[in-house]
Amino acid sequence: MISSLVLLIAVAAVRISSRSGLPSLLLYLGIGIAIGQDGIFNVTFNNAELTQVIGYAALVVILAEGGLGTKWREIKPALPAAIVLSTVGVAVSVGITAAGAHYLVGLDWRQALIIGAVVSSTDAAAVFSVLRKVPLPSRVTGVLEAESGFNDAPVVILVVAFSSVEPVHAWYVLVGEIALELAIGAAIGLAVGFLGAWGLRHVALPASGLYPIAVMAIAVTAYAAGAIAHGSGFLAVYLAAMVLGNAKLPHWPATRGFADGLGWIAQIGMFVLLGLLVTPHKLLDDVWPAILIGLILTMVARPLEVVLSLLPFKIPWREQALMSWAGLRGAVPIILATIPMVAEIEGSERIFNIVFVLVIVYTLIQGPTLPWLAKALKLGDSGEAADLGIESAPLERLRGHLLSVAIPQKSKMHGVEVAELRLPAGSAVTLVVRDGKSFVPLPTTVLRRGDELLVVATDPVRDAAEKRLRDVGQGGKLAGWLGTGAS
């Protein structure tokens, strides 16, 4: 009875969060709190070790889903900045936040460093759930997306090191260990990703439904291999999934749908479990320390982290301001706060309570205000032509592909005739869906905003056809002749 009710509430929470833009974190944590101690059902749950194990498993799935959805062409220009922000920036954030927690809140240095490390990880799901309806420059979204995928790895290493019962190594030893684990994780993730993509393209599975399962299995294998090799499994799974996501694998729309569904299930289960673990009446004493540490993190540590990390890249101040405010903390910090609890570090329960309150309060403040800030900084409408959403389904027997093209409001494909697309020989627009009605277009049919096109392309010209569609979407009918088009 309780499980059925929880499932219905969770499904309703998905719909509410997807429509309202409110970070789903708060809704799912609320479900867990309502079920747990001091809640409606008063369920007692205090197994931090089980929560950590399930949280890690859920994080692997979430990182895999995020990597599969990462577009290499968008993230490539932002990669150097994201790497620096995920390493040097994390160090800056940990140092400033820990100093504030020690001198202003009165925590000892170990507890302060643990909190500083725990809250230094940003959450992709929280960031993009509130920004999904706000078009931003590709550099901003690229940096934020890559940072959220990369910074989990060094943060986990730091939290584990600070939570060890043994004395913490000298800083240069710790930096060397982090660099080695990241290098091992990156190498394994890329290797598993490329080998997995090659295998899926050359081995015909007996059923199309096996491809999504195989993709997720490869991503999880990358995590396992990275962890066994004493590298960063989280970085390995993200990079492997990113390679797979950009490899143009068979049955890709089904794979993305499957991964997206698994990601939702992982988030719901993880957040509900974290809500169960907390005891609400014990949070009251740590509300003001959490707010003070969050204020240091949000108003001092994060802006300095962004400014110092991005100094060599000459990114405009408006974009840096948005990145500073977009450092949302999601489920990852709460999961990492269970590490000192499992290690039985003194004051670990207080650390968990402070992190829990901090994440809820500042997600509630930052999340809804992100779209407003983007528009206030004139980043909410970049004025650039919107990119096309293209999905591909293989037509094995015909050695062809079916491209589904959605023409957004900003696309310069609006007003272009079908013949003016100048698609390569071996490809053609076969169907147009407009205002809910479909028809076969003529060469003189004028395309409009909101149209959906079905384009059939043979295997040899598939890439050229997709590139031509993107070029026209960015540069209009004269794309190519005037040197305009998608980069």
Encode pLDDT of 321-332 as tens digits: 999 998 888 778
In this predicted structure, the answer to whether residue 482 has a pLDDT above a threshold of 70 is no
Q: Give yes or no for residue 424 having a pLDDT over 50.
A: yes
Confidence band for 170, pLDDT divided at 50, 70 and 90: confident
pLDDT on residue 355: 94
Q: Please tell me the predicted confidence (pLDDT) of residue 306.
A: 96
Between 126 and 390, the more confident residue is 126
Q: Which residue, chain included where needed, has tokens 């719909």? A: 15
Q: What is the pLDDT of residue 225?
A: 96
- pLDDT single digits (tens) 136-150: 777 888 888 889 888
Task: Assign 7 to helix, strand or coil.
Answer: helix
Range of lowest pLDDT (128-132, 167-171, 263-267): 128-132
The residue type of 203 is V
Phi, psi of 179 (to 5 degrees): -60, -40
Query: Of all residues in the chain, what percent carry a pLDDT higher than 70?
Result: 86
pLDDT reported for residue 448: 93
Q: Which tokens sit at 409?
A: 């409001």
Provide the Cα torsion 360, 53, 272, 324; round to 10°: 30
Residue 154: C-alpha distances to residues 83, 231, 282, 322 (Å): 11, 11, 30, 23
DSSP 99-167: HHHHHTT---HHHHHHHHHHTT---HHHHHHHHTTS---HHHHHHHHHHHHHTHHHHHHHHHHHT-SSP
Q: Is the pLDDT assigned to residue 71 strictly greater than 60?
A: yes
77 residue type, one letter:
P
Would you place residue 23 in the very low, low, confident or very high pLDDT band (cuts 50, 70, 90)? Answer: low
pLDDT at position 29 over 90: no
Instruction: Give the pLDDT confidence of 55-66 residue by residue, as tens digits.
Output: 999 999 989 988
User: In whole angstroms, what is the distance from residue 79 CA to residue 121 CA?
Assistant: 17
Judged against a pLDDT cut of 60, whether residue 11 lies above it is answered with: no
Query: Residue 238: what pLDDT?
Result: 93
Q: How far apart are CA 193 and CA 180, in angstroms?
A: 20
At 430, phi and psi to the nearest 5?
A: -100, -20
Kindly tell me if the per-residue pLDDT of 84 is higher than 60.
Answer: yes
Its pTM stands at 0.77
Listed residue (262, 259, 267, 266) closest to 242, CA to CA: 259
Task: Please give the average per-residue pLDDT across 364-390, as a whole number.
Answer: 72
Quickly tell me which residue has 């160090």 as its tokens.
Answer: 91
Mean pLDDT value of segment 1-29: 58
Question: Quick one: which of 87, 136, 75, 77 has its CA closest to 308?
Answer: 87
Report the range of poorest mean pLDDT among 117-126, 228-237, 407-416, 451-460: 117-126
- Whether the pLDDT of residue 203 is over 70: the answer is yes
Of the candidates 416, 403, 291, 425, the one whose C-alpha atom is nearest the C-alpha of residue 356 is 291
457 sits in which H/E element:
strand 452-458
Q: What are the start-end ranges of the H helices in 203-344?
A: 210-228, 233-245, 252-277, 287-296, 302-309, 317-325, 331-336, 338-342
Percentage of the chain modeled with pLDDT above 90:
46
Mean pLDDT across 96-108: 95
* CA–CA distance, 122 with 116 (Å, rounded to integer): 13
The predicted model gives 189-206 an average pLDDT of: 90
CA distances from 146 to 151, 203, 229 (A): 8, 31, 24
pLDDT value for 7: 54
Residue 244's pLDDT is 95
Predicted confidence band at 484 (pLDDT cuts at 50, 70, 90)? very low
